[in-house]
C-alpha cells in the first residue's frame, strides 16, 4: 500500500514537472493543437496569425517537447532558415493570397530525404555531416508549393534495414524516439520520428517513407493517418533507398483530408525516377475530391483475417469495426489469405540486392566528398567500429554487401516470384475473384515497451501484401487499448488511392478514434 502511494505521488510530481516544461504559450494561444491544413489557411486569410508566428510556435514546441521536457527525441535537426522563409511567404500572402495547397504549411521530413541545406543522414553516424547538392524531387515540390520545412525527423537507422534485430525508432546518430502516448513505449519504425512528431503536434504534417510497414506501423502506434501510395505516384529520387521496387515516400498526418492534400500536391512524373512514368494519367492533383463521408456504403470489402488471433482485445475491436462497416452499408467478405504462395524469402532477397544497388548509386550521387563510397565501404567501417556493433549486429548491411549486381539470376528470379504472387496471383487475383473495392485488416497491435536489449516485439502486421506488390495502403486510427492507439489498414490494387481515401475518410468521419497524446511516463 505504501509503495502504491509513493508511486502515485511520483506520477503526480512527474506530470506536474512535465506540464511546466511542455506548455507552449504561443502554440496554445494561436490554437495550433490538432490544427489542419484547411484551418491554417483560414487563419492566414482572416489574419488570426501569420505564417511566421505559426512557424515560430512550432519551433518553440519542438524545443520544449522534443529537446527538453519529455524529450521525445523525434527531431534530428531544425532548419535555421525556417523563420526567414516564413516571413517571405507572409509577404507573398499579403500580395497574392494563398496560391497553392501547401502554402505556409510547416512540414517535417524524415531524415533519409535529401535537402540541399540540411544534412541527410539516415540516422547513421557516418553520414552526420553529409549535405547533398540538391533537394529530393518531392522536397523541391514542397518548396515550390510554399511549404515551410521545419527540419528533419529521427528514424530507425538505414530505415530499419541494418541488423537481424533492432529497436524501431533507434538510430546511432539520433538515439531512441519515444512514443508520445507513453514514453516507455515504442513508436514503431522506420518513420518513427515522423509518426511521433505528427502525433505530438510538432508540425502541421510530416513525410515518411516505407518499404514494408515503415509508414503504417508508426502511424498505427502513434495514433495518426499514414499512407504509402502506389510505388511511382511520388518520386523517390533523392531519397536514401532500400528497394527500388517497393520504396515510396508518403504523407503522415492527423486527418485523412490532410493526407489527401499532401498526396495530390506531391504527385508527379520525375525523369530521375523511372517508376513515376506509370503515374502519368493515373495520378490526380487533388485527391480531396474523393472524400465522401458516405464512402463505405455500397462497397464490397475484403476482411483479411491472417493477422487476427494474435491479440484477443485487438480482435474484439476489429470485430466491432466489421459490424460498423456492415451497418454503414458495406458487404464484408472474409479472406483467410491473399496469396497462396509464401514469398517472404524472395522478398527478402530482393531487398538485399536492391539495398546494395540503391545505396551504391546514392553514395555516388554525393560526389567526391561523400562520407561513404559504397555499401562495401559502409560494411568495412562498421566492422572496424566497436560503437557501430555495440548494440545491434548489422548483419543486413554485411549480407547486402556480399550480393552481386542486379543482373544476378537469383535476383531476377526472386523479383519475378515476389511480383507474380503479390500482384497477379495476390491482391489482383483476390480482388477480381470477389469483385472487391478494397481490403481491410488491423494495422498492428498497440505499442510495445521499448527494449534495446531484445529488440522489437511485433504482435501482428498486415502491411506485407501491399508492400511486396508496390500497391497503396492507408491506416486510420481504429481504437485503443488502455490509452494506446492502433489502426485500421485499407489497401487495394495499383492506383486505387481514390477509393482507399474515400473509405478511410468515411470511417474517420463516422467513427473518429484519434486520441491526443499526453506524454505519460
Read out DSSP for 27-39? Answer: HHHTT-TT--HHH
Whether 358 shows a pLDDT value over 90: the answer reads yes
Residue 20 pLDDT exceeds 50: no
Q: Does CATH place domain 58-510 in 1.10.10.10?
A: no
The reported pLDDT for the residue numbered 8 is 46
Three-class secondary structure of residue 323 per DSSP: helix
User: Cα 445 from chain centroid?
Assistant: 16
Look at residue 514 in the predicted model and tell me its pLDDT. Answer: 98
Q: How far apart are CA 206 and CA 186, in angstroms?
A: 19
Quote the cell numbers at residue 227: 499512407
pLDDT score of 2 more than 80: no
Neighbour tally for 145: CB within 10 Å: 18
Give me the mean pLDDT over the 363-391 stretch: 94
φ, ψ for residue 251 (rounded to 5)? -75, 145
pLDDT at 12 over 60: no
pLDDT in the model for residue 450: 98
pLDDT of residue 365: 97
pLDDT per position as a tens digit, 52-96:
999 999 999 999 999 999 999 999 999 999 999 999 999 999 999
Active site residues: 110, 190, 214
Exposure of 407 in the CB half-sphere (CA atoms within 13 A): 0
Let me know: does 69 contact 168? Beta carbons within 8 Å: no
Residue 170: in which H helix or E strand, if any? strand 170-171
Q: Whole-angstrom Cα distance, residue 157 to residue 111?
A: 10
Residues 303-312 have pLDDT tens digits of 999 999 999 9
Confidence of residue 387 (pLDDT cuts 50, 70, 90): confident
pLDDT of residue 4: 40
Domain ranges of the chain: 58-510
Return the pLDDT at 24: 44
Residue 340, pLDDT above cutoff 60 = yes
Q: Which residue has the higher pLDDT, 9 or 170?
A: 170
Quote the pLDDT of residue 25.
66
The DSSP secondary-structure symbol of 113 reads B
> Is 383 exposed, middle or buried, given 0-12, 13-18 or 19+ CB atoms closer than 10 A?
middle
Q: Is the peptide bond before 434 cis (omega within 30 degrees of 0)?
A: no
Q: Which of 174, 154, 175, 156 is nearest to 166 (CA)?
A: 156
Write the CA distances from 17 to 21, 71, 200, 257, 357, integer angstroms. 6, 13, 18, 35, 49
Three-state secondary structure call for residue 143: helix
Question: In this structure, what C-alpha cell is assigned to residue 389?
Answer: 556493433
Residue 63 to residue 372: CA distance in whole angstroms: 31
What are the pLDDT digits (tens) for 466-475? 999 999 999 9
DSSP string, 276-293: GGGGTTT--S--GGG--T
3-state DSSP assignment of residue 130: coil
CA 9 to chain centre: 37
Per the prediction, the chain carries an average pLDDT of 95
Confidence of residue 17 (pLDDT cuts 50, 70, 90): very low
Under a CB-based contact definition with an 8 Å cutoff, are residues 457 and 445 in contact? no
150-163 pLDDT per residue, tens: 999 999 999 999 99
Annotate 421-458 with three-state secondary structure: HHHHHHHHHHHHHHCCCEEEEECECCCCECCCCCCCCC
The answer to whether 178 and 73 are in contact (CB under 8 A) is yes
Residue pLDDT, tens place only, 411-456: 999 999 999 999 999 999 999 999 999 999 999 999 999 999 999 9
pLDDT at 388: 85
With cut-offs at 50, 70 and 90, classify the pLDDT of residue 389.
confident
CB atoms within 10 A of CB 139: 27
> What does the pLDDT read at residue 185?
98
C-alpha cell of residue 414: 526472386
Residues 6 or more apart whose CB falls under 8 angstroms from that of 147 comprise: 102, 103, 104, 105, 106, 107
Q: CA distances (Å), 460 to each of 98, 124, 448, in order? A: 43, 28, 11
> Is residue 14 pLDDT above 60, yes or no?
no
Whole-structure pTM value: 0.94
- For the residues 182-200, what does the mean pLDDT come to? 98
% of residues, the chain, pLDDT over 90: 94
Q: Which residue has the higher pLDDT, 389 or 186?
A: 186
Amino acid at each position: 500500500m505504501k509503495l502504491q502511494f509513493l508511486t502515485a505521488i511520483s506520477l503526480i510530481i512527474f506530470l506536474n514537472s512535465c506540464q511546466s516544461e511542455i506548455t507552449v504559450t504561443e502554440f496554445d494561444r494561436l490554437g495550433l493543437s490538432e490544427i489542419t491544413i484547411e484551418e491554417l489557411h483560414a487563419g492566414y486569410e482572416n489574419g488570426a496569425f501569420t505564417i511566421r508566428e505559426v512557424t515560430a510556435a512550432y519551433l518553440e514546441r519542438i524545443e520544449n517537447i522534443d529537446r527538453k521536457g519529455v524529450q521525445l527525441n523525434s527531431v534530428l535537426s531544425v532548419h535555421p532558415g525556417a523563420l526567414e522563409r516564413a516571413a517571405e511567404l507572409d509577404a507573398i500572402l499579403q500580395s497574392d493570397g494563398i496560391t497553392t495547397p501547401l502554402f505556409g504549411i510547416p512540414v517535417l521530413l524524415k531524415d533519409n530525404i535529401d535537402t540541399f541545406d540540411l544534412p541527410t543522414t539516415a540516422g547513421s553516424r557516418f553520414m552526420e555531416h553529409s549535405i547533398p547538392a540538391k533537394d529530393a524531387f518531392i522536397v523541391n515540390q514542397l518548396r515550390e508549393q510554399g511549404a515551410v520545412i521545419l527540419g528533419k525527423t529521427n528514424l530507425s537507422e538505414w530505415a530499419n534495414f541494418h541488423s537481424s534485430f533492432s529497436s524501431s525508432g533507434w538510430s546511432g546518430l539520433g538515439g531512441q524516439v519515444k512514443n508520445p502516448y507513453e514514453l516507455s513505449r515504442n513508436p514503431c519504425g522506420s518513420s518513427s520520428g515522423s509518426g511521433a512528431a505528427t502525433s505530438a503536434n510538432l508540425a502541421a504534417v510530416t513525410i515518411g517513407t516505407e518499404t514494408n510497414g515503415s509508414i503504417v506501423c508508426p502511424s498505427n502506434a502513434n495514433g495518426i493517418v499514414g499512407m504509402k501510395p502506389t510505388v511511382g505516384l511520388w518520386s523517390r529520387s533523392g531519397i536514401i533507398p532500400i528497394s527500388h521496387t517497393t520504396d515510396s515516400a508518403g504523407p503522415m498526418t492527423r486527418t485523412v483530408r490532410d493526407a489527401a492534400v499532401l498526396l495530390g500536391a506531391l504527385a508527379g512524373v520525375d525523369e530521375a525516377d523511372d517508376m513515376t512514368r506509370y503515374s502519368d494519367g493515373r495520378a490526380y492533383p487533388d485527391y480531396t475530391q474523393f472524400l465522401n463521408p458516405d464512402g463505405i456504403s455500397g462497397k464490397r470489402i475484403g476482411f483479411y483475417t491472417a493477422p487476427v488471433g494474435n491479440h484477443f482485445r485487438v480482435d474484439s475491436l476489429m470485430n466491432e469495426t466489421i459490424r460498423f462497416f456492415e451497418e454503414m452499408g458495406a458487404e464484408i467478405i472474409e479472406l483467410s489469405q491473399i496469396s497462396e504462395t509464401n514469398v517472404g524469402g524472395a522478398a527478402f532477397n530482393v531487398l538485399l540486392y536492391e539495398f546494395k544497388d540503391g545505396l551504391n548509386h546514392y553514395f555516388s550521387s554525393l560526389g567526391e566528398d561523400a562520407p561513404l563510397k559504397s555499401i562495401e565501404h559502409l560494411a568495412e567501417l562498421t566492422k572496424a567500429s566497436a560503437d557501430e556493433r555495440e548494440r545491434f549486429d548489422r548483419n543486413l548491411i554485411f549480407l547486402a554487401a556480399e550480393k552481386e549486381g542486379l543482373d544476378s539470376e537469383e535476383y531476377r528470379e526472386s523479383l519475378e516470384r515476389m511480383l507474380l504472387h503479390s500482384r497477379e496471383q495476390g491482391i489482383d487475383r483476390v480482388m477480381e475473384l470477389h469483385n472487391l473495392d478494397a481490403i481491410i485488416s488491423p494495422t498492428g497491435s498497440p505499442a510495445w515497451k521499448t527494449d534495446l536489449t531484445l529488440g522489437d516485439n511485433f504482435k501482428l502486421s498486415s502491411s506485407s501484401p501491399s508492400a511486396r506488390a508496390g500497391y497503396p495502403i492507408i491506416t486510420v486510427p481504429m481504437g485503443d487499448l488502455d490509452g494506446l492507439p492502433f489502426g485500421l489498414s485499407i489497401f487495394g490494387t495499383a492506383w486505387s488511392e481514390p477509393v482507399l481515401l474515400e473509405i478511410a475518410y468515411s470511417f474517420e468521419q463516422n467513427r473518429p478514434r484519434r486520441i491526443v497524446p499526453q506524454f505519460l511516463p
